[in-house]
Amino acid sequence: MLLIHCPWCGDRAELEFRHCGEAHLVRPADPAALDDTQWAAYLAFRDNPRGWARERWRHVHGCGRFFNALRHTLTDRFAATYKPGEAWPEPPI
């Protein structure tokens, strides 16, 4: 089980959290202006990297708030968690 640092509550067990997919996906401002391919790209197509991934988590059984994280998908190690709206940190070398 992962130990996850909520930016508001501190270190908590993974059981308190819900993974919410890739981070920094911006919903198109005018969906009606998109064609089907662009809309599909927003809805379904993902980076799915092997390495550092930026992802969204939610502290569902805690403060209930969303935050972003930088996690390595081969080691599952978190490099950082940060609040929504903050700039993403650069991955460690």
Partner 1 sequence: MNGFGAFRLLREALRGQTGWEPQWRSPERPQPTYDVVIIGGGGHGLATAYYLAKQHRVGRIAVLEKGWIGGGNTGRNTTIIRSNYLFPESAALYDHAVQLWEGLSQELNYNVMFSPRGVLMLAHNVHDEQSFRRHVHANRLAGVDNEWLDAEGCRAFCPPLDIHQQRYPVVGGALQRRGGVARHDAVAWGYARAAAALGVDIVQNCEVIGITRGADGAVTALSTSKGEIRTGKIGVVAAGSTSLVMAMAGVRMPLESFPLQALVSEPVKPVFPCVVMSNTVHAYISQSDKGELVIGAGTDQYPSYSQAGGVQILSHTLEAICELFPMFRRMRMLRSWGGIVDTTSDRSPIIGLTPVPGLFVNCGWGTGGFKATPGSGHVFAATIARGEPHPIAAPFSLDRFATGRLIDEAAAAAVAH
Q: Using CB under 8 A as the criterion, which residues of the chain lie in contact with partner 1 when the complex forms?
A: 1-2, 14-15, 18-19, 21, 36-37, 39-41, 43-50, 53, 55, 71, 73-76
Under 8 Å between Cβ of 85 and 43 = no
Least distance (Å) between residue 53 CB and partner 1: 7
Least distance (Å) between residue 76 CB and partner 1: 6
Among residues 43 and 79, whose Cβ is nearest to partner 1? Answer: 43
Rounded Cα–Cα distance for residues 42 and 15 (Å): 28
Least distance (Å) between residue 36 CB and partner 1: 4
Backbone φ and ψ of 40, nearest 5°: -60, -40
Among residues 8 and 45, whose Cβ is nearest to partner 1? Answer: 45
Among residues 58 and 65, whose Cβ is nearest to partner 1? Answer: 58
Number of neighbours of residue 34 by Cβ within 10 angstroms: 13
Contacts of residue 45, Cβ cutoff 8 Å, sequence gap at least 6: none
